[in-house]
Structure 1
Amino acid sequence: LALDDRDKRFDANRDILDSANYILKSGVGAKGRLGIVGGSYGGYVVMVGVTEYPDAFAAGADLFGIVNFETFFAQSTPWMGAISSGEYGDPKTQADLLKRLSPIHKLDRVSAAMLVMHGANDTNVPLVEAQQVVDTLKKNGRDVEFLLFPDEGHGWRKIANRVKSTLTMADFFRRHLREPGIAASSLEGGPD
């Protein structure tokens, strides 16, 4: 399947807004209270969502996602670059396309609160991807939280890190997506 390869990726990226609108239309979510989360390619989708459609999402969690194809291709392993060039574009011949696909150039549009998580030993999507997001959003005065797992690579293998990641995300979304007028402390608790 090549339905989202290279310049067709723009069509796939529009599906993000269509999905958000479907959730609102179906009554499952409420405007101003939608969040978006994803890891790896899903992290890229999160960053596209919050940069291309800033009014759609109140909070986003980017887990080890690509944000800048220039740095991704320059710093990822050769095998990852080779398989990714067919999907996203060739950095030697399609640099302009890759720039247009890279959310890094649109981070000034972000209005959502952001949580970024990454493994320090990630060779699939190098840590520089997360660092660029965090540094730029902080420079822009945006609400961004960063959780680095020094003992992980691409994703979480250790149970303690999976638990920490899940609890961190739950807390993050609880704080940023709660209904207006409800204190975050009233949402704590639940089954032991």
Structure 2
Amino acid sequence: MQSGVADPKRVGIYGGSYGGYMVMAGLTNYPERFAAGADLYGIVDFETFFAHAEPWMSALSRVEYGDPDTQRDMLRELSPIHKIDRVKAATLVLHGANDTNVPVVEAEQVVSALKSRGVPLEYVLFPDEGHGFVKSKNRLREMAAVVSWFQKYLQP
């Protein structure tokens, strides 16, 4: 970075759920600051999130994120998918196929958009998981994938 605090070639961003959203927000809003990211079951487009989320989740999320009926413009502006063409960082996407909190369509959009642009990408879909990974074998696979990803893309 210009301040000299960190070498952008060695900075990664990682998070799940809200943190996964922040990974994609960081990679799209600050593309020069990150060399790699790991997005775990994060929202990337509030429009598709609300369209595909379970009714109970959609109702709760209107209070947290905004109402898609009355705040559509704000939610569009906050959705990283609309700036996905700015992503330069190698991106790892992990998601559970049975996620009812953040539908898998969110991960699929990231994967499709980055793959079409040739951004270094890996997608790990857990067919037997929902929101978060609770099975020991999957938690081990998640951590191994994340550590391996950052080792590969953040080395000097």
* Distance in 2, Cα, partners of 1:41 & 1:104: 15
> With CA pairs under 8 Å and 6+ residues apart, which has the higher RCO, 1 or 2?
2
Partner of 1:165: 142
Cα-to-partner distance string for 1:40-83 (whole Å, 9 max, x where unaligned) = 00000000000000001000000000000000001111111111
Secondary structure at the counterpart of residue 70 of structure 2: coil
Partner of 2:125: 148
Partner of 2:59: 82
Cα-to-partner distance string for 1:131-178 (whole Å, 9 max, x where unaligned) = 000001111121111000000000001000000000011111000000
| Superposed structure 1 runs of 4+ greater than 3 Å apart | none
Which of residues 62, 65, 77 is equivalent to 2:39?
A: 62
Partner of 2:96: 119
Partner of 2:23: 46
Secondary structure at the counterpart of residue 44 of structure 2: coil
Aligned length in residues: 156
TM-score with structure 1 setting the length: 0.78
Percentage identity across aligned positions? 58
Residue 99 of structure 1: CA displacement? 0.5
Partner of 2:10: 33
TM-score with structure 2 setting the length: 0.96
Give unmatched runs, 5+ long, in structure 1. 1-19, 180-192
* Distance in 1, Cα, partners of 2:150 & 2:38: 9
- Which one has the largest radius of gyration? 1
Cα-to-partner distance string for 1:56-114 (whole Å, 9 max, x where unaligned) = 10000000000000000011111111111112110111111110000001000000000
